[in-house]
């Protein structure tokens, strides 16, 4: 059996999507959105998120928190922030900024969605990313690179 006779799954899917979009210019089915489509929808003011798109919206919140944690960790490490002040300010920003995004920008009605899921989505991995980026950036920027010669001191 020749490999040429077997249709390529990726090209068939792309052809089916092209046919769907060319014949129906109405609302796009959420299941047809790839990662880039969800990202573009997240950037749209009042992106029309609803109960059917809730899993994709949780993905948006998850990645928003991860990127935010990385940025805050690098900025806090570069600025030589230390101690409880840095941790508490990170926690405040991690709770406020995603909430501001889905209330003010995406205009998501919290009564239609699970408010607790929105609040905690991706929070624990974001804490890990924050601490790793904060410690690494602080160490690279502010700790003296010379290591004492322990072996030669005996």
Residue 151 lies in a domain: no
State the pTM of this model: 0.67
What the block records as the tokens of 34 is 């790839």
Q: Is 95 exposed, middle or buried (0-12, 13-18, 19+ CB in 10 A)?
A: middle
- The predicted pLDDT at position 75 comes to 94
Which are the contacts of 130, defined by CB distance < 8 A and separation ≥ 6?
A: 69, 70, 72, 73, 90, 94
Going by the DSSP 8-state scheme, the letter that residue 113 receives in this structure is: S
Residue 112 lies in a domain: yes
Residue 68 lies in a domain: yes
- With contact defined as beta carbons under 8 Å apart, do 68 and 42 qualify? no
Q: Which domain holds residue 59?
A: 52-142
- The predicted pLDDT at position 32 comes to 52
Residue 1 lies in a domain: no
Cα–Cα dist 135/73, whole Å: 8
Total tally of structural domains belonging to the chain: 1
Q: For residues 113-134, b (16+ Cβ closer than 10 Å) or e, as one string? A: beeeebeebbbeebbebbeebb
Residue whose tokens read 């899921």: 117
The sign of the dihedral angle between the CA atoms of 26, 32, 33, 34 is negative
Residue 16 lies in a domain: no
- The predicted pLDDT at position 100 comes to 86
The rounded Cα 64 to chain-centroid distance in angstroms is 3
Residue 33 lies in a domain: no
Residue 133 lies in a domain: yes
pLDDT along the chain (154 residues), means of 10: 44 46 40 66 72 78 91 92 90 89 79 79 92 92 68 58
- The predicted pLDDT at position 154 comes to 52
Residue 117 lies in a domain: yes
Cα–Cα dist 129/123, whole Å: 10
- The predicted pLDDT at position 146 comes to 58
């Amino acid at each position: 059996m020749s490999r040429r006779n077997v249709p390529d799954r990726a090209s068939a899917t792309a052809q089916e999507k092209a046919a769907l979009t060319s014949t129906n210019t109405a609302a796009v089915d959420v299941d047809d959105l790839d990662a880039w489509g969800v990202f573009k929808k997240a950037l749209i003011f009042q992106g029309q998120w609803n109960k059917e798109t809730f899993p994709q919206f949780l993905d948006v919140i998850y990645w928003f928190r991860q990127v935010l944690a990385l940025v805050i960790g690098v900025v806090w490490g570069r600025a030589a922030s230390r101690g409880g002040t840095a941790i508490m300010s990170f926690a405040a920003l991690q709770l406020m900024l995603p909430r501001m995004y889905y209330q003010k920008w995406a205009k998501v009605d919290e009564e239609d969605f699970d408010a607790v899921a929105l609040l905690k989505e991706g929070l624990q991995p974001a804490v890990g990313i924050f601490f790793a980026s904060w410690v690494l950036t602080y160490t690279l920027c502010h700790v003296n690179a010379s290591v004492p010669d322990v072996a030669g001191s005996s």
